[in-house]
Amino acid sequence: MSNFFEIKNTTFRISDSDKVRNVSFSIEQEGDIVCLLGPSGIGKTTILRSIAGLEKISEGQITLKGKTLSSKDTHIDPEHRKIALSFQENSLFPHYTVEKNINLSARDNDRGNININEIIKILNLENILNHYPHQISAGEAQRASLARSLNSNPDLLLLDEPLSNVDQSFKEEIQVKLKQILKKLKITTIIVTHDSYEAFYLGDKCGVILDKELKQFDDPYNVYHFPNSEKVVKFLNRGVLIPAKVTSPKSLENDDLGVITGNFVNPVPIGTNVKLLLQPEDLQHDDKSNLKFDVIDKKFRGTSFIYTLKTNTNNLLPVFVHSHHVHQHDINDKFGIRKPIHIEHIVCF
Amino acid sequence: MRINTWFISSFLISIVVVIPILTVFSSFFEDTSNYFEILRETFFLEYIFNSLFLLFGVLILTFFLGVGSAYIVSFYEFPGANFFKWALILSFAVPPYIYAYSLFAFFENYGTAFTILKFLFGDGNYNQHIPKFSGMLGLILSVSFSLYAYVYILARSSFLYQSQNLIELGKNLGFSKFKCFYSIILPAARPAIIAGLSLVAMETLAEFGAVDFFSVNTLTTGIYNAWIAFDDLAFANRISFFLLLFIFILFLTENLSRKKAKYHLDSKGGFKKKEKNKLGGSKAFFAFSFCFALFFLSFLFPLSQMLYWTIKFPENLFDLNIIDLLINTLYLVSLSSLVLIIFALISNYGNRVSKKKILNVMSTLSISGYAIPGVILAIAFITFVAWFDENIIKALGFLSIKKVFIGSVLGLVIVYFIRFYSLAFNGIKSGYEKMNISVDESAYLLGYSKTKTFLNIHVPYLRNSLLFVIILVSLEIVRELPITLILRPFNFETFATTAYISASEDLLEAAAVPSLCLIIIASFFILLTSKYILREGNE
Amino acid sequence: MKKITNLALIISLFVSTFAIAAEVNIFNARHYKADAELYGKFTAKTGIKVNLINGKSGALEKRIIEEGADSSADLYITADAGRCGAMDSKGALQSGLTSASIKSAVPKTFRTNKWVGIAKRARIIYYSPERVTGAELSGMTYEGLADPKWKGRLVIRKSSNIYNKSLVASLIANNGKKAAAAWAEGVVANMARTPEGNDRAQIMAVAAGEADIAVANTYYLALMLSGKKGPEQQEAAGKVKAFFPNQNDRGTHMNVSCAALVKGAPNKANAIALVEYLLTPEAQEHFTNNTFEFPMIDGVSPSPLVVNNLGLDFKQDMKTKLASYGKKQAAAVEIMTAARWK
């Protein structure tokens, strides 16, 4: 069976000089959610606009339900695609109330399972239904626009930074509800965001766009634990890369930390010099250990502290410590690390 | 493919508007005959000098009248302030040429002033003591009192939107009221004021009726004379070229300032209804007097002069077929606004959906029609039609099309179209600009086709803008003189042409009735629009 | 089919329908109410409809010329022989006003084959009897306006005015360009103020004491005296007197309102009929009583106001052909401009 939605070797044009090249990914099943992650200005919005048909593509192919929407020679107008796009900026019709805006779809609700009142309730829009777009806040406009998109019953829903203007306190609640709605209605969705936690939470699959290409497209777990390139590591801010030498099929050695054991995600020949991904949770605190480094920074993160240690070779290492841990360390203190060091999945480049 | 249809239609509309402008320029490099060469050089200097003198006179006066009244009305509360707020824009109802008739007639030897003095103080030789407002001085006054409202409206709206913080900041810094005005309020309103002054400047340079009445030779009448009296199209075009260059600079200034002014207006959240300072005692009296004097001089005075004549020479009232004139005027107004609105809408929409640069350039060019004096447009139109008819239509063996275009309502509507296109185009554009392009895209994504988006989303959204544009265009056409004068069909008069023709035949008192009707109709249109012109909220 | 009907409907909104009935199209630069009444009488009499397009002469002339052979204009009616002459020299007119009734009604001086005078006026001197003595005026001529004794005492219109152009053209025709140029400089030197206003304003300037003598056309004084301009001007008119210059030589400078036959006139016969009608005693009487011009034909008397206040038995300049006003117009403008006559 063919994929529900597919992008094949497509080049997206951001501007005359800027393009995102050779993007391929697919959504196998109807109802799946894909999140595209990447720093701002990288062309994520352009990709959404191209999928929606607001921009043309010059190379590649975009298909939905087996029908080609865009290719070098084909371009189906946006109004004939059944794809909804919720813009980042306010795109409500300024002369209609929020309620009228939400109900303005020109398409039939043939799925028949969309209960707009429920959506309105979930998105907390009841109190502003009679307001005009200029009378509501940016976050409210985003939610109203989301409701409008949902109500148009699209085959594919595209959300461009859907919650960027929603208050932080309200954001997680909405994320949960959003996921519930999308799953309940089985609406296939592509969400663009720069917030990796949002992407990992919402997405069945995550794509990371960096340097004008799709670097990685995988399950959130895999993207998180097995980033496939240094760039992805840096973008996700997952940890640090330290120099190491592969000493056996199950171990490496680092000048500061000594031997590290674990399972290589990808086999590396013995004797290769690599950069090892070291994540904060990989190291354990142990006051009794004689492997000690200076603390140079300490961040309180609620449930945990993240200590930054400086090694003898001037590498900086992050270490997680649960915040209930009795023994706290201050800057310039010595900080012990438990030996031997074992990392479940060894990611190195 | 639908994009192309829109593109082509807006492109064609722009072409129609641009043609006369190109006609003027195309013959610029033709040789002028040597005949009268030196003579013309002297005329030429006179034209330039007079135009500049008139321009600066009017700019200075309109600046003081417009900014002064806008300041008083926006920042202070005094008896009548709410009345003057809109009463001051009634001056738009009196075109400069009608003001000129009133001014001249009031102060001439044995004129209305003489009558009043005689009535009050008995016989006497008052004529020598009555100041004479004719020639350049009269012209500057007529044009200024008729046009200052441009500055007033724009300055006022800028003052209203000025953030309260700015003024409070000034007070915090311990500025005096004058210093506050001079170094905070005025600079912040500068783009709006410059935009208003540029409009005044364009209208002044294009003014025909009043200039002709006072027989001051400006570049505009110079072009008319060169064309008409010397039959020297090339020379006329040469003057036109200079005038247009001049106007083009103003046009750019206006455009740039307007953009800045808009930026200023759009800054959200800055708008807060300001507490107006309540004036009392002599200050309130001064504010009232200033506004009343301005209202009196700009509106009541010409109105009363015309009313006085109508009563004094009532036979003119019965001689005039007012119903016919009214029907003609309304006919022109409704037909032209309909055509203008439809095409300006299409063109605006074309610009919006097709991102082609050429269209942008074309529409910028085409809206310059407003800057070109009506006289030049009308003559350029005749010249173009004659050329087209001789060289193309007849060459192809068809019957002459001159009669279809010259001296017909069609021709009249086309030239009005060219002249007022920018008014309609910009009016709709400013409405459009408030609507994000993503609104259109949302509509497409919701399944609306381009046409459906246009009809179901845009047109309802633009309803208010459209209404405003229609009334604005109507107001302009009711006042319009030179185009109507030159291109109208047989037995077809409007209030403006009737007034002008009577006045030019030394029958000023017969010009009173049509002038009065014109003022009344125009006032009516102004009152209809005042709601939009003077709106105070953040709509 | 429906589309075509709609299209026709839309087009008919714009294009004025041209009736094929008997009509005559006048491009009219004379806007006296009285003229319109006269055309009404003509229609009543002949059934020929008179279509008018009113306007200032310059614009009308331009339109006739630009429309060329396709012009709908039959007749061009204007208030100065200089204008008809200028139109003729541009080749915009045709001959045809040669019927016996026209020829017998209008003296040769006042017509050509292409245009015909329909009413006469003289351009004369007005003076303040309080400040100008009979001796000063005795034997006064147009040439005498340049005499330094009038320094600071004379008012006259701008040089752009067609009446002045024609007056100067007649001086060039009679005295030569050089003499006329010197004369123009003398006149400018004598001016009491920079030229402004119309003819009536010149007369009122004398009445108001701004100047002692003024140059203006005859019918203006009668108009003021008639009270049609209000009691104040009636009173002002009483303070000035008229003087007819050049009585001892060629006579007073005459001008006419003229009707010109336009080249390619679609209704030539009707146009000629209208001109003939305008020269009938009925029409001429109408002119004299309403516009206070002098009649073109013999046997009709001017308005009593004109007769009583201006006099009738003055010597008209029958020597200078009015056709020369158009021919010398360019030279006249040149001379006045050179003399810095504003």
Confidence at residue B163, expressed as pLDDT on a 0 to 100 scale: 61
How crowded is the C-beta side of A36, counted as CA atoms within 13 Å? Answer: 28
From residue A315, alpha-carbon distances to A237, A311, B17 in Å are 16, 5, 70
Tell me if A106 and B452 make a contact (CB, 8 A cut-off).
yes
The least confident of A68-72, B378-382, B447-451 is B378-382
- pLDDT score of A244 more than 70: yes
Confidence at residue B539, expressed as pLDDT on a 0 to 100 scale: 36
Confidence at residue B304, expressed as pLDDT on a 0 to 100 scale: 93
- Dihedral of CA atoms B343, B345, B347, B352 in degrees, nearest 10, equals -170
The CA radius of gyration of chain B, in Å to the nearest whole number, is 24
Closest partner CB to B413 (pick from C14, C160, C233): C14
Chains C and A touch (3+ CB pairs under 8 A): no
Tell me if A107 and B441 make a contact (CB, 8 A cut-off).
no
Confidence at residue B37, expressed as pLDDT on a 0 to 100 scale: 62
Confidence at residue B145, expressed as pLDDT on a 0 to 100 scale: 95
Question: What pLDDT, in 10s, does the model give residues C126-136?
Answer: 999 999 988 88
Closest partner CB to A107 (pick from B435, B447, B463): B447
Question: What pLDDT, in 10s, does the model give residues A75-116?
Answer: 888 888 888 888 887 788 888 889 888 887 666 555 556 678
The CA radius of gyration of chain C, in Å to the nearest whole number, is 21
Mean pLDDT for C152-179 is: 92
Distance from CA of B152 to the nearest CA of C (A): 33
Query: In chain B, which residues have their Cβ closer than 8 Å to the Cβ of A133?
Result: none
CB of B269 within 8 Å of a chain A CB? The answer is no
Peptide bond into A340 cis (omega under 30): yes
Alpha helices in chain A (DSSP H): 44-52, 98-102, 116-122, 138-151, 168-185, 196-202, 220-225, 230-236
| Distance, CA of C177 to CA of C170 (rounded, Å) | 10
Confidence at residue C212, expressed as pLDDT on a 0 to 100 scale: 94
- Which three-class secondary structure state does DSSP give residue C10? helix
Domain-wise residue ranges, chain C? 2-120+256-303, 122-253+322-338
Confidence at residue B35, expressed as pLDDT on a 0 to 100 scale: 46
Tell me if C205 and B335 make a contact (CB, 8 A cut-off).
no
- pLDDT score of A344 more than 80: yes
Architecture of domain A5-232: 3-Layer(aba) Sandwich (3.40)
Chains B and A touch (3+ CB pairs under 8 A): yes
Q: Which of C210, C207, C232, C224 is nearest to B118 (CA)?
A: C232
The residue among A87, A89, A93, A142 with the most chain B CBs within 10 A of its CB, best to mutate, is: A93
Q: Which stretches of chain A are assigned E, i.e. beta strand?
A: 5-13, 19-27, 33-37, 59-64, 67-71, 83-86, 156-160, 188-193, 205-210, 213-218, 240-248, 251-254, 258-264, 273-278, 292-300, 304-310, 316-322, 334-336, 341-346
Which domains are assigned to chain B?
1-31+313-493 (1.10.3720.10), 43-311 (1.10.3720.10)
Confidence at residue B288, expressed as pLDDT on a 0 to 100 scale: 92
- What is the DSSP secondary structure assignment for residue B458, as one 8-state letter? I
CB of B129 within 8 Å of a chain C CB? The answer is no
- pLDDT score of B106 more than 80: yes
Which of A97-111, A112-126, A288-302, C148-162 has maximum average pLDDT? C148-162
Confidence at residue C9, expressed as pLDDT on a 0 to 100 scale: 54
- pLDDT score of B198 more than 60: yes
CB of B44 within 8 Å of a chain A CB? The answer is no
- pLDDT score of A143 more than 50: yes
Confidence at residue B271, expressed as pLDDT on a 0 to 100 scale: 44
Confidence at residue C74, expressed as pLDDT on a 0 to 100 scale: 93
Confidence at residue B344, expressed as pLDDT on a 0 to 100 scale: 86
Mean pLDDT for B75-88 is: 87
CB of B127 within 8 Å of a chain C CB? The answer is yes
The domain defined by C122-253+322-338 folds into D-Maltodextrin-Binding Protein; domain 2 (3.40.190)
- pLDDT score of B368 more than 80: no
| Percent of chain C residues topping a pLDDT of 90 | 37
Confidence at residue C155, expressed as pLDDT on a 0 to 100 scale: 94
Which of B386-400, C12-26, C144-158 has maximum average pLDDT? C144-158
Mean pLDDT for A315-341 is: 81
The owner of tokens 């010249």 is B383
Domain-wise residue ranges, chain A? 5-232, 239-346
Confidence at residue B265, expressed as pLDDT on a 0 to 100 scale: 42
- pLDDT score of B76 more than 80: yes
Mean pLDDT for B11-24 is: 71
Question: What pLDDT, in 10s, does the model give residues C259-271?
Answer: 999 998 899 999 9
Question: What pLDDT, in 10s, does the model give residues B313-328?
Answer: 887 777 778 888 999 9
ipTM over 0.85: no
CATH of A239-346, one of 3.40.50.360, 3.30.70.1450, 3.30.70.360, 2.40.50.140: 2.40.50.140
The domain defined by C2-120+256-303 folds into D-Maltodextrin-Binding Protein; domain 2 (3.40.190)
**Token pair listed for B212:** 């002709």
Mean pLDDT for A234-248 is: 86
